[in-house]
């Protein structure tokens, strides 16, 4: 019954719509035979069919209202309406991370809570209206805070790792004393397309499922691959999904016909039941088709042969559903037509109302949920410490409390800080590769697994995407994750888990969902030639470009402790995501000016002490000759240069340790620069995109660039192995030369 696609500019949405109405007429006229097929109950069939029609009419509405500039999103669910079966057979408390073609699923999930209006809410989302329940008008996303649908903007597969992490977090909570926000027999639903199956993030998630099951861990995740045979314009090879997943170790494979409710319902139910009862990962291969192109601007006739396009349109699942309800005598074709028309009118009317509901109109409104910051509450939380009795139970006795121990270097102090935080927050977890029995590559987590057990301190597989997916999943389930990334260079393998997923959740959910975490990363260079590039990475620019991310980098042990206390409080109170960059070269550094002087070993901060958010540390604030602005490894180097400058030139140097690399305290930077006659900005990274550029920009914008200023960085090069690293990294000698150069150009005092 499909109409030919001879006109290259033909509106395929109209064709699909007319084809369905023509099919009803053919049933009515006896040209299409229908029979009563046994299967799912009548009530289920009727409501599922209605959800499919609602989803279809929303797609058609979007194409119409886009032309009126009332709708701003046209990726639709047409052909995928069979996912309504997944929505019906799962619970409203089953966390869902959804594919963008999930209209049918959402229509069914909305049925599970009285008082909600799926059409109204979806139209508000399409219109980017301020009242949009999912994102507050920031994006068209499937989501609802009362239905455990966490908004996803991913068009590929970057949501899969955190779905797996959520499933592991649910399993972790059962019997572990942690109160989950969902029932402990919940499963996680995660849907995606057949093309997305090939994405690295999808393969990571699938491998993580298999790896976990291989160790007999519970992973109650339902991976729903909605296979429509094409990824935008690229066909999926025949049988690719089935052949690649049917025999995957550790994962149960189920196939369901998503084009036929009667045939597919039982298969979907078996998949859901197995996932829930056996607590194992289940891959549901749901057969679908794609109608109306990838989106409203996609003219498929330009790249799909007419016969192929017509065949896809001939598989419209609404036709099969209409045959089923008519064959059972539940509705007549005329009744189906009338219901279809009523839904169309309702969708168009709600779209018009949504267009008049008001949109976000100020920058402040847009940004409001991105980076919540409750300064007083965070400070109060950071100052709160567990009781002395609790701490003595873990540390051993009062004498062994870290504040009663001698001054130590950074690695030891971070270890003690993590111990205190794990005592303070029963929901806190520390994990990553090697963090358990080994205690990390640099022994920073040594002894934590022994003290707190494998449920709270544990090793993961070697995959940064999985580690950060776990952190998001655990955070969503009420834990306070402290994941470790072994080296900064390794973070870049998984950057999108923070940029595209973790830091965007509060923004795209209008602050209704959160995945707090403090991500520890061994970072930076100056390791005396050890390790080469992958163990000496200064690439902070990619982190600083992530909206809402907080970045801290201590240069000394006591600051590291206080910064961790503040960061975990920020995560706990405001749900924020923070990156804690730990300078590897300073982990074991004890001395500053001479061997065994012990001047870079510091006392453990007293309980309740913490670091005020985003404030730098100042050395010799009375100095007025020269200001050195730096961070991390640059701080002890600058202090040694300050002594040399005083001895050689009689100049006093003030050193500003930024500590917080995002956000920068630009007011403090400008104030200290304004009080000194010259400025050296020392950024141990590369010349482009680093901290130094941001600092110099801040000086210019604050109007304090009217004095000698010099920026020193490393070379625009990867860091090699051995002594050659010193040819790329900025050296202490070069820093001293820069200071001497600026000092020589200072204006004489009047």
> Does residue 415 sit in the same domain as residue 499?
yes
d(CA 676, CA 653): 9
pLDDT (mean) for 641-651: 94
How many domains is the chain built from?
3
Q: Indicate if the pLDDT at residue 5 is higher than 70.
A: no
Q: What pLDDT score was predicted for residue 721?
A: 87
Q: Indicate if the pLDDT at residue 568 is higher than 80.
A: yes
Residue 347 lies in a domain: yes
Write the DSSP string, 648-682: HH---EEEEE--EEES--HHHHHHHHHTSSEEEEE
* CA distances, 307 to each of 6, 22, 78, 320 (Å): 11, 19, 19, 20
Residue 500 near residue 542 (C-beta atoms within 8 A)? no
Quick count: other Cβ atoms within 10 Å of Cβ 372?
16
Residue 131 lies in a domain: yes
Q: What pLDDT score was predicted for residue 174?
A: 75
Q: Indicate if the pLDDT at residue 4 is higher than 60.
A: no
Residue 261 near residue 319 (C-beta atoms within 8 A)? no
Q: Among 586, 605, 640, which residue terminates a domain?
A: 586
> Does residue 452 sit in the same domain as residue 572?
yes
d(CA 648, CA 642): 10
> Does residue 163 sit in the same domain as residue 64?
yes
pLDDT (mean) for 548-566: 97
> Does residue 231 sit in the same domain as residue 326?
yes
Tell me what the pLDDT averaged over the chain comes to: 93
Q: What pLDDT score was predicted for residue 1?
A: 45
DSSP state of 155: S
> What is the Cβ-side half-sphere exposure of residue 38, based on CA atoms within 13 angstroms?
0
H or E element at residue 222? strand 221-227
H or E element at residue 709? strand 709-712
- With CA atoms as reference, report the closest residue to 500 among 98, 221, 103, 157: 157
d(CA 255, CA 235): 20
Structural domain including 335 reads 12-367
pLDDT (mean) for 509-523: 96
* Domain harbouring 85, CATH code: 3.40.50.970
Residue 3 lies in a domain: no
> Does residue 300 sit in the same domain as residue 416?
no
DSSP state of 183: -
Q: H-type helices in 71-199, by residue range?
A: 84-89, 103-110, 118-126, 160-173
Integer-rounded Cα radius of gyration of the chain: 30
Q: Phi/psi of residue 374, each to 5°?
A: -105, 85
pLDDT (mean) for 126-147: 93
d(CA 530, CA 720): 9
- With CA atoms as reference, report the closest residue to 55 among 347, 366, 288: 347
Q: What pLDDT score was predicted for residue 748?
A: 66
> Does residue 65 sit in the same domain as residue 179?
yes
> What is the Cβ-side half-sphere exposure of residue 268, based on CA atoms within 13 angstroms?
27
Mapping DSSP to helix (H, G, I), strand (E, B) and coil, where does residue 148 land? coil
Residue 372 lies in a domain: no
pLDDT (mean) for 228-245: 91
Q: In the chain, count of helices (H) and strands (E)?
A: 27, 19
> Does residue 17 sit in the same domain as residue 136?
yes
Can you give the length of the chain in residues? 750
Strands 282-287 and 428-432: unpaired
> Does residue 141 sit in the same domain as residue 16?
yes
Which tens digits make up the pLDDT trace of 589-616?
Answer: 999 999 999 999 999 999 999 999 999 9
Q: What pLDDT score was predicted for residue 594?
A: 95
> Does residue 623 sit in the same domain as residue 556?
no
Which tens digits make up the pLDDT trace of 169-224?
Answer: 999 987 778 999 999 999 999 999 999 999 999 999 999 999 999 999 999 999 99
Q: Indicate if the pLDDT at residue 743 is higher than 70.
A: yes
Which tens digits make up the pLDDT trace of 318-336?
Answer: 999 999 999 999 999 999 9
- With CA atoms as reference, report the closest residue to 325 among 137, 526, 139, 51: 51
Residue 617 in tokens: 């540390």
Residue 386 lies in a domain: no
- With CA atoms as reference, report the closest residue to 522 among 459, 442, 591: 442
Residue 239 lies in a domain: yes
Residue 604 lies in a domain: no
* Domain harbouring 710, CATH code: 3.40.50.920
Q: Indicate if the pLDDT at residue 8 is higher than 60.
A: no
Q: What pLDDT score was predicted for residue 749?
A: 56
Q: Indicate if the pLDDT at residue 750 is higher than 90.
A: no
Which tens digits make up the pLDDT trace of 359-403?
Answer: 999 999 999 999 999 999 999 999 999 999 999 999 999 999 999
pLDDT (mean) for 466-484: 97
Q: Indicate if the pLDDT at residue 9 is higher than 70.
A: no
Q: Indicate if the pLDDT at residue 3 is higher than 80.
A: no
Q: Indicate if the pLDDT at residue 305 is higher than 90.
A: no
Q: Among 350, 367, 384, which residue terminates a domain?
A: 367
Residue 660 near residue 615 (C-beta atoms within 8 A)? yes
Q: Among 367, 384, 419, which residue terminates a domain?
A: 367
Residue 142 near residue 149 (C-beta atoms within 8 A)? yes
Q: What pLDDT score was predicted for residue 192?
A: 95
d(CA 602, CA 408): 5
Which tens digits make up the pLDDT trace of 103-123?
Answer: 999 999 999 999 999 999 999
> Does residue 207 sit in the same domain as residue 314?
yes
Q: Indicate if the pLDDT at residue 129 is higher than 60.
A: yes
Going edge to edge, which strands form the sheet with 480-485?
457-459, 428-432, 480-485, 517-523, 577-583, 550-552, 660-662
> Does residue 274 sit in the same domain as residue 132?
yes
pLDDT (mean) for 427-441: 94
Of the pLDDT bands very low, low, confident and very high (cuts 50, 70, 90), residue 684 is very high
Of the pLDDT bands very low, low, confident and very high (cuts 50, 70, 90), residue 306 is confident
pLDDT (mean) for 149-167: 90
> Does residue 550 sit in the same domain as residue 631?
no
pLDDT (mean) for 149-159: 85
Residue 34 lies in a domain: yes
């Amino acid at each position: 019954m499909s109409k030919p696609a001879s006109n290259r500019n033909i509106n395929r949405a109209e064709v699909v719509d007319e084809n369905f109405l023509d099919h009803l007429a053919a049933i009515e006229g006896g040209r299409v035979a229908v029979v009563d097929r046994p299967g799912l109950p009548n009530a289920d069939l009727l409501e599922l069919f209605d959800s499919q029609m609602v989803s279809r009419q929303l797609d058609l509405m979007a194409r119409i209202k886009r032309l009126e500039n009332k709708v701003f999103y046209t990726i639709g669910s047409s052909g995928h309406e069979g996912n309504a079966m997944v929505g019906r057979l799962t619970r409203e408390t089953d966390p869902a991370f959804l594919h963008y073609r999930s209209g049918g699923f959402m229509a069914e999930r909305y049925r599970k809570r009285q008082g909600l209006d799926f059409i109204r809410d979806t139209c508000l989302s399409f219109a980017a209206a301020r009242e949009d329940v999912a994102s507050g008008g920031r994006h068209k996303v499937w989501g609802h805070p009362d239905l455990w649908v966490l908004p996803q903007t991913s068009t590929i597969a970057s949501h899969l790792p955190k779905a797996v992490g959520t499933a592991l977090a649910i399993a972790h909570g059962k019997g572990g004393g942690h109160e989950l926000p969902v029932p402990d027999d919940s499963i996680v639903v995660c849907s995606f397309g057949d093309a997305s199956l090939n994405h690295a993030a999808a393969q990571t998630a699938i491998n993580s499922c298999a790896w976990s099951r291989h160790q007999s861990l519970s992973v109650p995740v339902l991976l729903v691959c909605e296979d429509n045979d094409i990824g935008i314009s690229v066909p999926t090879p025949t049988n690719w999904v089935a052949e690649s997943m049917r025999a995957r170790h550790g994962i149960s494979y189920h196939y369901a016909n998503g084009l036929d409710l009667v045939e597919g319902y039982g298969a979907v139910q078996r998949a859901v039941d197995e996932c829930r009862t056996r607590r194992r990962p289940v891959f549901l291969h749901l057969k679908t088709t794609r109608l109306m192109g990838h989106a409203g601007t996609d003219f498929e006739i330009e790249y799909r042969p007419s016969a192929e396009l017509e065949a896809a349109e001939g598989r419209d699942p609404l036709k099969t559903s209409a045959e089923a309800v008519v064959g059972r005598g539940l509705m007549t074709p005329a009744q189906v037509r009338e219901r279809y028309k009523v839904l169309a009118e309702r969708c168009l009317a709600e779209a018009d109302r949504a267009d008049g509901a008001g949109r976000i109109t100020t920058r402040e409104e847009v940004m409001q949920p991105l980076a919540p910051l409750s300064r007083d509450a965070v400070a109060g939380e950071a100052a709160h410490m567990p009781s002395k009795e609790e701490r003595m139970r873990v540390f051993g006795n009062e004498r062994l409390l870290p504040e009663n121990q001698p001054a130590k270097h950074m690695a030891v102090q971070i270890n003690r800080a993590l111990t205190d935080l794990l005592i303070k927050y029963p929901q806190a977890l520390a994990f990553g590769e090697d963090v358990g029995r080994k205690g990390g590559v640099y022994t920073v987590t040594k002894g934590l697994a022994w003290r707190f057990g494998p449920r709270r301190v544990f090793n993961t597989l070697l995959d940064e995407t999985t580690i950060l997916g776990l952190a998001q999943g655990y955070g969503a389930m009420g834990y306070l994750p402290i994941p470790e990334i072994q080296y900064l260079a390794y973070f870049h393998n998984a950057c999108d888990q923070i940029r595209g997923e973790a830091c965007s959740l509060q923004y795209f959910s209008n602050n209704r969902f959160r995945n707090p975490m403090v991500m520890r990363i061994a970072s930076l260079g100056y390791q005396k030639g050890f390790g080469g590039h992958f163990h000496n990475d200064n690439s902070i620019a990619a982190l600083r470009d992530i909206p809402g991310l907080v970045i801290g980098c201590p240069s000394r042990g006591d600051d590291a402790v206080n910064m961790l206390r503040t960061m975990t409080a920020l995560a706990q109170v405001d749900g924020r995501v923070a990156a804690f960059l730990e300078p590897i070269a300073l982990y074991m550094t004890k001395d500053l000016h001479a061997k065994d002087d012990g001047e870079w070993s510091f006392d453990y901060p007293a309980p309740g002490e913490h670091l005020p958010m985003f404030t730098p540390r100042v050395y010799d604030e009375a100095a007025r000759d020269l200001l050195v602005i730096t961070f991390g490894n640059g701080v002890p180097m600058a202090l040694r240069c300050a002594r040399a400058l005083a001895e050689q030139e009689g100049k006093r140097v003030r050193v500003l340790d930024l500590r917080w690399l995002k956000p920068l305290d630009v007011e403090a930077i400008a104030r200290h620069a304004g009080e000194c006659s010259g400025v050296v900005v020392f950024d141990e990274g590369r010349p482009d995109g680093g901290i130094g550029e941001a600092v110099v920009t801040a000086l210019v914008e604050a109007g304090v660039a009217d004095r000698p200023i010099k920026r020193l960085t490393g070379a625009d090069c990867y860091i090699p192995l051995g002594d050659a690293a010193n040819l790329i990294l900025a050296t202490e000698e070069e820093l001293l030369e820069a200071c001497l150069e600026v000092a020589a150009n200072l204006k004489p005092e009047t």
